[in-house]
């Protein structure tokens, strides 16, 4: 009975994480379409939400990697999964508050590794898997998106440079409907699967699924797809602003190049089973599209802040995950500890939202800097 | 760093596909835009538009086909 209650707490926390993932990453998907006026903001977010939902059903390879590629599934407990999710949610909210586009995926894996370290020690973490399936692809992906977007925009400018800019811009705005849709679909494919993997990991720890027969149940796929779509629909407007206009001022051709590069890199990585950070990839694409036109077009200071948030994500989420595990474990192995930790996080969440609301309503109040 | 840990072949596939598909789609779409704009300009000037119109249609269809093929490939994995 106690383990059933704990499973429900973990699943609800996973759904909450998936929601924050969609909420936090909406910017990655729609910023280029909004800033070039290819789509009005509400429509862009609604379309992204729908395509995120659809994308979650395309493949399950990333879910398998997250569920069994980084930690010893035999040693995972529901408390470990819960604490890992808390680490990821806390980091997502902190970076949302500061308007920084950091990686939800790395926050999730960082949180999981941190709680696993405290629970079972370093031997329970698959360090080779972490390096080969997460860290190395994480380093390559944004560089790849940067190079692909830079090449794409160079080709476009070479071919179209002498044409009247008006019709060219209009055509690329239409093209962004396709590239933006593909990006949203690829985001749903890669990101929703991470939560599916973690939920399945909790089911393995509960004993509902055998560790030797790791598979993702259909209800997990539908739940994760719905949560990420709902989160996307709710939208993180602060990060949309940073991604859409503060890194570079984009023209529609650059938006098209950045989105195409982002979508192809994420889809290729999903097919290979790599849980990539969609944030890293699309930021790399946006910077590549800007730098190819003019190096000084990229606001490297903002790009540097984003890079710092990336570097901090894994250790910071791991630290919160480890702390959440240690605190929850004080109250035993039952659901009491996780419930109390959830309440503390909920209270912190309300304070953050109240402060944000006050800062938005009062023009004289200081607003947290996004730079 | 051991090749077994990093799975270099799989990573190279991702790099090749990411670069190749983006460049291919950008090339096709740019040619489609070129065809469209030139065809419209020639239509306004009363000249023949068939060649540029065909270029636009073929390249745009190529873009859509590439996107569709990518999705089919992904869902079959």
Over residues B24-71, the pLDDT tens digits come to: 999 999 999 999 999 999 999 999 899 999 999 999 999 999 888 888
Q: What ranges do the domains of chain B cover? A: 3-75
pLDDT value at position A337?
87
Weakest mean pLDDT among A335-339, A345-349, A365-369, B27-31: A365-369
Give the angle subtended at the CA of A197 by the CAs of A196 and A203, to the nearest 5°.
90
Q: How far apart are CA A139 and CA B23, in angstroms?
A: 21
Over residues A285-312, the pLDDT tens digits come to: 988 998 888 777 677 777 777 778 778 8
Chain A, 272 to 331: residues with Cβ < 8 Å from chain B are 272, 274
Over residues A161-203, the pLDDT tens digits come to: 888 888 999 999 999 988 999 999 988 888 888 889 899 989 9
Higher pLDDT, A150 or B8: A150
User: HEC string of chain A?
Assistant: CHHHHHHHHHHHHHHHHHHHHHHHHHHHHHHHHHHCCCCCHHHHHHHHHHHHHHHCCCCCHHHHHHHHCCECHHHCCHHHHHHHHHHHHHHHHHHHHHCCCCCHHHHHHHHHHHHHHHHHCHHHECHHHHHHHHHHHHHHHHHHHHHHHHHHHHHHHHHHCCCCHHHHHHHHHHHHHHHHHHHHHHHHHHHHHHHHHHHHHHHHHHCCCCCCCCCCCHHHHHHHHHHHHHHHHHCCHHHHHHHHHHCCCCCHHHHHHHHHHHHHHHHHHHHHCCCCCHHHHHHHHHHHHHHHHCHHHCCHHHHHHHHHHHHHHHHHHHHHHHHHHHHHHHCCCCCHHHHHHHHHHHHHHHHHHHHHHHHHHCCCCCCCCCC
**What are the residues whose beta carbons fall under 8 Å from the beta carbon of A64, sequence distance 6 or more?**
A197, A214, A216, A273
Chain A, 128 to 167: residues with Cβ < 8 Å from chain B are 128, 131-133, 136-137, 140, 144-145, 147-149, 151-153, 155-156, 159-160, 163-164, 167
pLDDT value at position A293?
80
Weakest mean pLDDT among A34-43, A221-230, A254-263, B44-53: A34-43
A195 neighbors A17 (Cβ within 8 angstroms): yes
pLDDT confidence of A275, banded at 50, 70, 90?
confident
Query: What is the helix, strand, coil percentage profile of chain A, to 5?
Result: 80, 0, 20
Q: How far apart are CA A100 and CA A243, in angstroms?
A: 9
Considering CB atoms only, which of B18, B25, B74 is closest to A59?
B74
Helix (H, G, I), strand (E, B) or coil at B73: helix
pLDDT value at position A360?
63
Distance from CA of A125 to the nearest CA of B (A): 14
The verdict on a CB contact (< 8 Å) between B74 and A148 is: no
pLDDT value at position A113?
93
pLDDT value at position A32?
82
Residue A81 has pLDDT above 70, yes or no: yes
Q: State ipTM.
A: 0.89
pLDDT confidence of A4, banded at 50, 70, 90?
confident
Q: What is the DSSP letter of A296?
A: G
Average predicted confidence (pLDDT) for chain A: 85
CA Rg, chain B, in Å?
19
Among A351, A65, A63, A31, CA closest to A179: A31
In chain A, what percentage of residues exceed pLDDT 70? 92
Over residues A29-71, the pLDDT tens digits come to: 888 888 888 888 888 888 889 998 998 888 888 888 887 778 8
Residue A327 has pLDDT above 50, yes or no: yes
The verdict on a CB contact (< 8 Å) between A136 and B11 is: yes
Q: What ranges do the domains of chain A cover? A: 2-359
A111-120 core/surface letters (b: 16 or more CB in 10 A; e: else): bbbbbbbbbb
């Amino acid at each position: 009975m106690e383990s059933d209650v704990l499973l429900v707490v973990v699943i609800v926390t996973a759904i909450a994480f998936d929601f924050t993932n969609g909420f936090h990453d909406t910017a990655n998907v729609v910023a280029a379409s909004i800033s070039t006026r290819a789509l009005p903001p509400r429509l862009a977010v609604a379309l992204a939400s729908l395509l995120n939902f659809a994308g979650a059903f395309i493949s399950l390879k990333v879910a398998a990697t997250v569920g069994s590629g980084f930690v010893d599934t035999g040693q995972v407990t529901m408390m470990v999964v819960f604490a890992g999710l808390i680490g990821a949610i806390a980091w997502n909210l902190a970076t949302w508050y500061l308007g920084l586009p950091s990686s939800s995926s790395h926050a999730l894996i960082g949180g999981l590794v941190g709680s696993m370290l405290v629970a079972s020690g370093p031997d329970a973490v698959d360090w080779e898997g972490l390096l080969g399936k997460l860290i190395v692809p994480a380093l390559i992906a944004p560089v790849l998106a940067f190079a692909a977007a830079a090449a794409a925009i160079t080709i476009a400018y070479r071919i179209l440079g002498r044409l009247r800019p008006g019709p060219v811009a209009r055509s690329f705005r239409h093209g962004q409907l396709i590239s933006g849709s593909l990006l949203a679909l690829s985001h749903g494919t890669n990101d929703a699967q991470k939560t599916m993997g973690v939920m399945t990991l909790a089911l393995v720890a509960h004993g509902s699924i055998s560790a030797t027969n790791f598979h993702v149940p259909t209800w997990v796929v539908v739940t994760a797809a719905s949560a990420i779509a709902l989160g996307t629909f709710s939208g993180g407007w602060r990060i949309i602003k940073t991604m859409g206009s503060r890194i570079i001022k984009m023209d529609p051709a650059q938006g098209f190049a950045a989105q195409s590069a982002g979508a192809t890199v994420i889809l290729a990585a999903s097919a290979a089973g790599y849980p990539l950070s969609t944030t890293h990839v699309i930021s790399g694409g946006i910077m590549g599209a800007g730098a190819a036109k003019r190096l000084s077009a990229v606001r490297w200071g903002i790009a540097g802040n984003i890079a710092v948030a990336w570097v901090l994500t894994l250790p910071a989420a791991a630290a919160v995950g480890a702390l959440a595990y240690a605190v929850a474990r004080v109250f035993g192995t039952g659901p009491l500890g996780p419930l109390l930790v959830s309440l503390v996080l909920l209270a912190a969440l309300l304070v953050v939202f109240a402060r944000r609301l006050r800062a938005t309503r009062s023009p004289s109040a200081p607003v947290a800097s996004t730079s | 760093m051991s090749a077994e840990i990093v799975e270099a072949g799989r990573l190279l596939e991702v790099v090749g596909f990411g670069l190749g598909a983006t460049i291919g789609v950008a090339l096709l779409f740019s040619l489609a835009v070129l065809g469209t704009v030139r065809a419209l300009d020639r239509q306004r000037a009363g000249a023949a538009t068939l060649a540029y119109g065909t270029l636009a249609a073929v390249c745009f269809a190529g873009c859509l086909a590439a996107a569709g093929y990518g999705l089919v490939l992904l869902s079959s994995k």
